[in-house]
Structure 1
Amino acid sequence: MTEQQYRIEHDTMGEVKVPVDALWRAQTQRAVENFPISGRGLEDQQIRALGLLKAACAQVNKDLGKLDAEKADAIIAAAKEIADGKHNDQFPIDVFQTGSGTSSNMNTNEVIASIAKANGVEVHPNDDVNMGQSSNDTFPTATHVAATEAAVQDLIPGLEVLQKSLAAKADEWHEVVKSGRTHLMDATPVTLGQEFSGYARQIELGIQRVQGTVERLGELAIGGTAVGTGINTPAEFGGKVTEELKKLTGVDALSEAANHFEAQANRDALVEFSGAMRSVAVSFYKIANDIRLMGSGPLAGFGEIHLPDLQPGSSIMPGKVNPVLCETATQVSAQIIGNDAAIAFGGTQGQFELNVFIPMMARNVLESSRLLANTARQFATKLVDGIEPDVERMRGLAESSPSIVTPLNSAIGYENAAKVAKHAIKEGITIRQAVIDLGFVDGEKLTEEELDKRLDVLSMANTDRN
């Protein structure tokens, strides 16, 4: 940087050159220079949560008489600008930084101090903005605020859109019969509605799993300061800040940590939340892959359903259309499963009083939540809602499947039924014709009327039970 491009800031280690127009100061600049690692910073949700937290802390310090009103109000105004996303470009530090998030906490403090100064109020990043706080309780708190807000206000509603879409199709296609499949081989008939009811239930259970983590995810470390003892802060600080955060976010699930030592030394709730998302991702992969297979074709695949045409599928093959949202969902599922592996390992890295993998864990958790919520909505509205079944083809495949011989077991025996299936396949005829050809319609054990009744593919699906 030339002299015209930088200004001199200082911290306890000395002078630092900082870009002249930057709102950050010395400690942030040191971190920028120390960690040119991935080119990826904090998630926007976390920056928002840091802003909300600083506003809440300033309000409580003002209410407790620890911070004069002018400074507090200036901090609150600046912090809310950050929470509103107005200064996201002022958070340049890489996610792979000090494992406590100290660099990003100081980044927040410095930006707030610079905004306040520009508005005519001098505040100190440590003494005023960070009053009653430590990076060791603020960064975990911001992480859990962001994750809880994401779960309650974005992820769960997004999954509910998908669940309702799948459930609606289950009702619509309740009597659309098709061949069941196990091991990717023909099995006894089901209905398309039954399959989609299974998908809807998978997502319903996934929502329940995510909801089950929210209470613990919402426990906040604020008030524990450096090691959980609450040194340098009033005893009531954590509880009051938590109440202020509930007002600012509208998330009632937030609460002061039941034990501040647990809340700072461990990130078990993040691991649990990520695990719930991983379970949903596993379900989502299965659903998307089934739908992709059913829609494969148009001539050489299953061809049981028609997926909406969303975009041209090939730069060389005219007219080709691909199952792009199925592929999106399966890729997202893989990313979430990978994120979870890193989060689980990160959860092991809590030596004594502090976990030191928090920035990576936070980014992965928030990315997983965002990816899953966005994909669920798109998959529901742009794919599931527009699926059209090929009713005749599905019924034809079901009726020609050798597995429909199964209801004949009790009439002619398992071994004879197997002979029927093999004969039908060998001769290229229907199961009904094979039964007649092999002489099993004798008028006693099995009549033609009874044969037709047993070979009705819709009745095999037991739709009255499901």
Structure 2
Amino acid sequence: MGEVQVPAEKFWGAQTERSRNNFKIGPEGSMPHEIIEAFAYLKKAAAYTNAELGVLSEEKRDAIAKVCDEILDGKLDDQFPLVIWQTGSGTQSNMNVNEVIANRSHTNAGGKLGEKTTVHPNDDVNKSQSSNDTYPTAMHIAAYTKVVKHTLPALEKLRNTLDEKAKKFENIVKIGRTHLMDATPLTLGQEFSGYVAQLDYAKKAIENTLAHLKELALGGTAVGTGLNTPKGYDVKVAEYIAKFTGLPFETAPNKFEALAAHDGIVETHGALKQLAVALYKIAQDVRLLASGPRSGIGEIFIPENEPGSSIMPGKVNPTQNEAITMVCAQVLGNDTTISFAGTQGNYELNVFKPVMAYNFLQSAQLLADAMISFNDHCAVGIEPNEPRIKELVEKSLMLVTALNTHIGYENAAKIAKTAHKNGTTLKEEAINLGLLTAEQFDEWVKPEDMVGSLK
């Protein structure tokens, strides 16, 4: 392929530079840093496993491990310039890591860049590995770590805030709405309890996918057969990764599935999509309930964080709601990309790996950030507007539903329609129509008795 000029001060080599020159698509260095960190963990684990199984010297093991630790400490962040939009197996990013580790370990030992290295990028750093099993392993390490350490804690935080609100608002009777139209009463606490339940189900859905996501492809090498690996390598290397990360990773029971189909990524992101759907509904409801301040529903107050208009003085907008719902839209789009990419497992290898990793990690991080922001700058400050809530309950025609069992559906409907037509109250029309007395109306139509006992 001819010579290629590599910047003299960089630790990467020819394969990285070729990719850098051939794939100038999007911003340089767009390969997620979480993937690079995951590679550092797996390369360190591979070095320890290979040494333990007698196919790599302890000296080379230590040299490789030292550079991996430097990567994890952020000391070599400028050495990974490649983009997502490269080969679909992620081969060039695997080689980027191999070359950096080999060259950096050489300079750590007193050598100079450009000299032949004592640690070889393929024979030593990549020993017992293929890009076809390292990249999906990095995907799972990065995805699992992001979800467990970022997304789920943020979800739990928001869930607990909304649960506190549900308990605080449990005795505030308000009007319900279905089809965006007035319906029978419920409490504000009951309404918020629905949001809590949505988040509980989303959390459970995510957690139920993690068993698949923690399975690692490493040890499958090129097509899943484990060619060129010592016996027991796959189990041992997963144990080392679990040890170094502090997370319960294990070897995939079927490496053919692990290389050719990334259903674990598709599955977990599907649960993230469920979370996005729930968050959109919650944020949308809160935004509408807080609409106003004088011409909207206005049943709740949300924090006023910043001016909302460059032309309308005093206007304040539900900006946190808008931000999190935009994040939800992005996650739904990412799910479409991941779902399609998941279909691209042609025979023994899926070749849409980088775009799956990028979209997954973006979704998991965006959801985490958005939930924390929404929690801290909106949810914690939600308060009821009780006078407005009471006003709307008293004006609602749907309280007539309480009369169904006393005077029948048709008579109750007649009262509601007449009151709406005449702009009068239910009580006035019930009496005018001669269907019941004032005393009967007051006894039978009690909003607080219409909310049931369900929590």
TM over 0.5: yes
Taking the aligned partners of 1:217 and 1:158, their CA distance within structure 2 comes to 20
| Matched AA of 2:49 | V
Output the CA distance in 2 between the equivalents of 1:244 and 1:450: 75
Task: Find 2:123's aligned residue among 123, 127, 134.
Answer: 127
Deviations 1:27-69 (A, max 9, x none): 0111111111121612221111111111111111122222222
For 1:85 and 1:239, locate their aligned partners in 2 and report how far apart those are by CA, in whole Å.
28
Q: Distance in 1 between matches of 2:7 and 2:346?
A: 36
Residue 454 (str. 1) matches residue 444 (str. 2): yes
Deviation at 1:80, TM superposition (A): 1.6
- Out of 317, 320, 324, the position equivalent to 2:319 is 324
Q: Is the 8 A contact 2:427 2:438 kept in 1?
A: no
Equivalent residue runs for 1:388-407 within 5 Å: 388-407=383-402
Distance 1:431 1:88 in 2: 70
Give the equivalent residue in structure 1 for 2:193.
197
- Letter of the 1:33 counterpart: N
User: 1:202-250 deviations in whole A, cap 9, x for unaligned?
Assistant: 0100000000100001110000111111111112111111001111111
Identity over the aligned pairs, expressed in percent?
51
Structure 2 match to 1:349? 344
Tell me the secondary structure at the aligned position of residue 127 of structure 2: coil
For residue 265 of structure 2, what is the amino acid of its counterpart? Answer: L
Opposite residue 167 of structure 1, the aligned amino acid is D
For residues 13-162 of structure 1, what are the structure 2 equivalents within 5 Å?
13-39=1-27, 41-120=30-109, 122-162=118-158
CA distance in 2, matches of 1:453, 1:102: 76
How far apart, CA to CA, are the structure 1 residues paired with 2:413 and 2:74? Answer: 67
Matches within 5 A, 1:363-374: 363-374=358-369
- Mapped pair 1:411 → 2:406: yes
CA distance in 1, matches of 2:281, 2:443: 34
Farther off after superposition, 48-57 or 17-26: 17-26
Name the CA distance, whole Å, in 1 between partners of 2:139 and 2:444.
60
Q: 1:117-149: CA deviations, max 9, x gaps?
A: 221163111111111110000000010011111
Provide Cα deviations, 1:407-442, integer angstroms capped at 9, x if missing partner.
11121221111121122222222212221222222x
Partner of 2:218: 222
SS of residue in 2 equivalent to 1:126: helix
Once residues 434 and 404 of structure 1 are traced to their aligned partners in structure 2, the CA distance between those partners, rounded to angstroms, is 13
Tell me the distance in 2 between the aligned counterparts of 1:102 and 1:465. 56
Aligned-partner Cα distance in 2 for 1:147–1:465? 38
Instruction: Give yes or no for contact 1:278–1:336 (8 Å, CA) kept in 2.
Output: yes
3-state DSSP class of the match of 2:229? coil
Residues 319-372 of structure 1 show CA distances to partners (whole Å, capped at 9, x for unaligned) of: 211111101111011100100001000011001110000000011111111111
Aligned equivalents of 1:312, 1:85: Cα separation in 2? 38
Deviation, structure 1 residue 178: 1.1
Corresponding residue SS for 2:83: coil
In structure 1, the partner of 2:114 is none
Report how far residue 282 of structure 1 moved.
0.8
Could you tell me whether the CA contact under 8 Å between 1:277 and 1:368 is conserved in 2? yes
Measured in 2, the distance between the counterparts of 1:310 and 1:279 equals 29
**Rounded Cα–Cα distance in structure 2 between residues aligned with 1:28 and 1:460:** 69
SS in 2 for 1:190: strand
SS at structure 2 position matched to 1:187: strand
1:284 alignment counterpart: 279
Counterpart residue number, 1:304 = 299
Partner of 1:5: none
Note if contact 2:134-2:218 (Cα within 8 Å) is conserved in structure 1.
yes
Do the aligned residues in 2 keep the contact of 1:24 with 1:110 (CA within 8 Å)?
yes
1:87, distance to aligned residue in structure 2 (A): 2.2
Separation in 2, partners of 1:453, 1:161? 43
- Secondary structure at the counterpart of residue 321 of structure 1: coil
Q: In structure 1, give the amino acid aligned to 2:73.
A: D
CA contact (8 A) 1:35 1:94 kept: yes
CA distance in 2, matches of 1:74, 1:209: 42
Task: Tell me whether 1:340 sits opposite 2:335 in the alignment.
Answer: yes
State the alpha-carbon separation in 1 of the partners of residues 122 and 298 from structure 2.
64
Instruction: Write the distance in 2 (CA, Å) between the matches of 1:48 and 1:135.
Output: 16
Query: Matched residues in 1 for 2:109 and 2:276: separation?
Result: 49
Question: For residue 220 of structure 1, what is the amino acid of its counterpart?
Answer: L
Q: What is the alpha-carbon distance in structure 2 between the residues aligned to residue 27 and residue 212 of structure 1?
A: 39
Report the secondary structure of 2:175's partner residue. strand
Alignment RMSD, CA only? 1.3
Where does structure 1 lack aligned partners over 5 or more consecutive residues?
1-12, 442-446
Partner of 2:428: 433
Counterpart residue identity of residue 235, structure 1: K
Runs of 5+ unmatched residues, structure 2: 111-117
Q: Aligned ranges for residues 376-391 of structure 1 at < 5 Å? A: 376-391=371-386
Contact 2:162/2:195, CA 8 A, preserved across alignment: yes
Deviates more, 1:228-237 or 1:453-462: 453-462
Q: How far off is 1:105 after superposition?
A: 0.3
What's the CA shift string for 1:256-299, capped at 9, x where partnerless? Answer: 01111111111011111111111111111111101010111111
Partner of 1:10: none
**Distance across 2 between alignment mates of 1:242 and 1:424:** 71
Query: How far 1:76 moved relative to its partner?
Result: 0.4
Separation of aligned partners in 2, 1:437 and 1:37: 75
Contact 2:416 2:426 in 1 (8 A): yes
- Please say if residues 50 and 83 of structure 1, whose CA atoms lie closer than 8 Å, have aligned partners that are also in contact: no
The number of residues matched between the two structures is 447
1:465 is displaced (CA, Å) by 2.8
Name the TM-score, length of structure 2 as normaliser. Answer: 0.96
Kept in 2: contact 1:152–1:251 (CA 8 A) = no
